[in-house]
Amino acid sequence: MKNLFDIRGRVVVVTGGAGILGRSICVYLAEQGARVAVLDRDEKAGEALVGEIRAAGGDALFFATDVLNREVLVSNREAILGAWGQIDILLGTHRLLSSDVSLPNLSLLILDEEQRFGVRHKEKLKALKKNVDVLTLTATPIPRTLQLSMSGIRDLSVIETAPQDRKPVATAVLRRDDATLRTVLERELAREGQVFWVYNRVQGLERVAEYVRKLVPTARVGMAHGQMSESELESNMHKFWHGELDVLVCTAIVESGLDFPRANTLVVDQAQLFGLGQLYQLRGRVGRSDRQAYAFFVVPDTEHLSEVAEERLRIIMDMDYLGAGFQVAMEDLRLRGAGNILGEVQSGHMGRVGLDLYLEMLEEAVARLKGTPVTQDVETELNLGLPAHIPQSYIEDGRERLRCYKALTSATSGAAREEVALSMRDRFGSFPQELVNFIAVLDFKQFLSHLQVQRADIYLDHVRLVWGDGQTAVQPERILQLVASMKGARMLPPASLMLPLPADKDFAQGLQGLRQALENIRTPGSPGGTA
């Protein structure tokens, strides 16, 4: 990760710079040519870090600080300005949200681990300066943020390329069993690795740590949770970093922002109580080197999980490949809803406006602001006179069949639907004729909505299309030309068109040919039409 950006000569202030994560940041910034101001309460560690940076040819200064003391912070600022005359970049925590923080020249705001910030936090940060550019980073965007991006309000970039030599984390769901868990721990310790054992209740964490000690008496076991004193927590994390602990029994405090290359086994105790994004983030704590990593999600009983918990675990098991964060977030959006975009709720469904209607209105408004033509599509009503469905004999499981129905009908384009279809074919085999018909009808319906067709009666040998009042997507004179050129086609009053399907082609091919013919009746310049 060299030369990602040019910060040579820039002054970077890092609060908590002598800690485990801050230390790595400071060293990296100094290697890139930045002048680093290390702010921390630990003078000994801070001075040692500055000495290390200078010995490597970098430029750094240490300032003893207390981020809760305004006078100390003001003194730090004046000292930095006195030494270097400027502050270009500030790396900090939620302390930046405090009312006494002023950043008058702020031009770029970067939020790392965006899922850890609430709506109020984000709005307050943006209010530090109007018209500020905001970049949010996360492996698992919350549903509200993801929906804002998909609606066009925010730009979205996805990085799916894994670091070199990185391997996917092998994932399994385990029923609690002492012998199995003992084997898991012993196998990791035998290869001189480390283990995260996550139990998300401070009450009872000591009991869990004692349980781990009984499983493997030779293991060096430590604890980490948010109610520990700062010094004790940092001491335990420091020991784990330096290999003085084999197993770290902890809460979800380790969910994000930590990089321990030697920790390559994760055990999530009571995994059914964690959210989907949490499970994915926790799995990301291991497998951060070229060694094979393992994640075990432990549940009391695999047979009696709630439907929601079972669905979360199924998703995290299915999406065990590198770069799956975006797809996990999409599934989380599907499970929890997009949240209240008008308020502070970051997941769930809008109760007053109606989510689907609101998002449709939102997308139209965004398109108008961007100067993009707004397509006035209609929801075409279908009446089918042929078998078009997913047969039970093809997918026996009712819930899985329903998921496939939803995936196919929710696809926003033919390419997206084809991707879903390929996935189904890989899992369940060649399509029966009923499913082939169903996919062909869905593609055709999407096309008809662009033509503002109100109703379509579809049979094996013909199609009847009905338009409502006020349509603008097709030209009547072009319909007359189509009827005149196609054998068997005819107009039906008051606003219907009957078109035959060729007998020498299969149903899907016939619909595709009909679609090509109907392209010619579009109004020139209409969205999706010809100029």
What pLDDT, on the 0 to 100 scale, is given for residue 257?
Answer: 65
Q: 440 with 382: CB under 8 angstroms? A: no
Q: What is the DSSP string of 503-517?
A: TTS-HHHHHHHHHHH
What pLDDT, on the 0 to 100 scale, is given for residue 49?
Answer: 93
Total Cβ atoms within 10 A of residue 317: 14
Q: 12 with 91: CB under 8 angstroms? A: yes
Domains of the chain: 11-150 (3.40.50.720), 170-322 (3.40.50.300), 381-521 (3.90.1150.50)
What pLDDT, on the 0 to 100 scale, is given for residue 348?
Answer: 56
What pLDDT, on the 0 to 100 scale, is given for residue 128?
Answer: 64
Q: 92 with 37: CB under 8 angstroms? A: no
Q: 392 with 401: CB under 8 angstroms? A: yes
Dist. CA 507–CA 357, nearest whole Å:
34
What pLDDT, on the 0 to 100 scale, is given for residue 52?
Answer: 94
pLDDT along the chain (531 residues), means of 10: 71 85 87 92 90 94 86 89 90 71 73 70 66 76 67 71 80 92 94 93 92 94 89 86 92 79 92 87 85 92 84 86 76 65 51 53 67 64 89 88 87 86 90 92 88 88 85 80 87 85 87 87 59 32
Beta bridge partners of residue 175, listed in sequence order: 299
Q: What is the CA radius of gyration of the chain?
A: 30
**Interaxial angle between packed helices 276-283 and 325-336, expressed in degrees from 0 to 180 and rounded to the nearest 10:** 160
Is residue 488 helix, strand or coil? coil
What pLDDT, on the 0 to 100 scale, is given for residue 125?
Answer: 66
